[in-house]
Amino acid sequence: MSLFDWFADRRKGQYVGKVNQEPDEGDGLWSKCPECSQVVYRKDLLSNASVCSNCGYHHRIDSTERIAVLVDPNSFVAIDQELEPIDPLGFKDRRAYADRLRETQASTGLRDGVITGVCEVEEIPLALAVMDFRFMGGSMGSVVGEKITRLVERATAKKLPLLIVCASGGARMQEGMLSLMQMAKISGALERHREAGVLYLPLLTHPTTGGVTASFAMLGDLILAEPKALIGFAGRRVIEQTLREKLPDNFQTAEYLQEHGFVDSIVPRTQLRSTLASLLRLHGCVSNAQVAS
């Protein structure tokens, strides 16, 4: 079931699927794997990057946890933290967009759906953007687009390799065309980054869909993904109705996309930092220690 189908069914009260299924924390000390039902001490789960040691299921993690998994300790420096969204269209469906923003900011502690900054991975400098699905489904609005674009431009100017961790339901409908234009804006900045001869790696996590998939998620020099991540543009139901045929059970998974040439490598989360460092070195990126010497 796709993210779009899940939202439609959730509105009807019919289904709560794995797209939004978090570990059962119980009393806060234990977690139950939704894939194999193994109960594990939560500290052990966190020490294994929130990956089930029994079946390899990748629990969803937030942007703060993601940064801790990926980068050298205490090396991440956030930028453009002051940017936050407004309501340019005065949008209202069942509730006002402005109210949704305030409540989501209060519940997540984030100003919008992405954190950007510079960091080090095994002492190699890196520009990093991490999307957070907790903030309105990781949807891409004007601020998400602006922060990522600024980061890409900084990476281009400073000749820094770039990693964008994607986790999104797509463009943010409450901002209309202002959201959709971020696809072209980020893609243009990435083209200038490519022309400068600097490495760009997107990491596709569960889920990566919609306008994010249709733009910067698929523009990397090498495209990485986490195991079993849902990756796609339109929902499964829409595609089946359009094509009038049944799709494979593993359609829109990272494994299916790798098999068909859209993903270059599927990397378990526990191996991400070392794999990323190896890729950076292979592409000529050097550590700060090497630069100093």
pLDDT digits (tens, 9 = 90+) for 168-216: 999 999 999 999 999 999 999 999 999 999 999 999 999 999 999 999 9
Structural domains present in the chain: 60-292 (3.90.226.10)
Q: Where are the strands (E) in the chain, listed by range?
A: 30-32, 39-41, 77-78, 114-121, 124-131, 162-168, 200-208, 224-225, 265-266
CA quadruple 95, 141, 184, 63: dihedral positive or negative? Answer: negative
CB 217 within 8 A of CB 163: no
- Whether residue 6 is predicted with pLDDT greater than 50 in this model: the reply is no
Rounded Cα–Cα distance for residues 232 and 254 (Å): 9
pLDDT at 151 > cutoff 90: yes
For the stretch 51-82, pLDDT in tens is 999 999 999 999 999 999 999 999 999 999 99
Inter-CA distances, 200 with 64, 187, 190, Å: 21, 12, 8
Phi-psi region of 26 (alpha: psi -120 to 50; beta: other; left: phi over 0): left
pLDDT of residue 16 exceeding 50: no
Q: Percentage of residues in the chain with pLDDT exceeding 90?
A: 87
Question: Is pLDDT at 4 greater than 50 in this prediction?
Answer: no
- pLDDT band at residue 35, thresholds of 50, 70 and 90? very high
**Per-residue confidence (pLDDT) for residue 288, from 0 to 100:** 75
**What pLDDT, on the 0 to 100 scale, is given for residue 105?**
98
Q: In this prediction, what percent of the chain has a pLDDT beyond 70?
A: 89
Is residue 13 predicted with pLDDT exceeding 90? no
Return the pLDDT at 28: 74
Is the model more confident about 11 or about 124? 124
pTM: 0.89
For residue 22, pLDDT over 70 is answered with no
Rounded distance, CA 140 to CA 185, Å?
12
CA–CA dist 40, 25 (Å, integer): 10
Instruction: State yes or no: pLDDT of 165 exceeds 60.
Output: yes
Q: Which pLDDT band holds residue 293 (cuts at 50, 70, 90)?
A: low
Residue 162, pLDDT above cutoff 70? yes
Q: Are 159 and 72 in contact (CB under 8 A)?
A: no
> Per-residue pLDDT tens for 236-255?
999 999 999 999 999 999 99
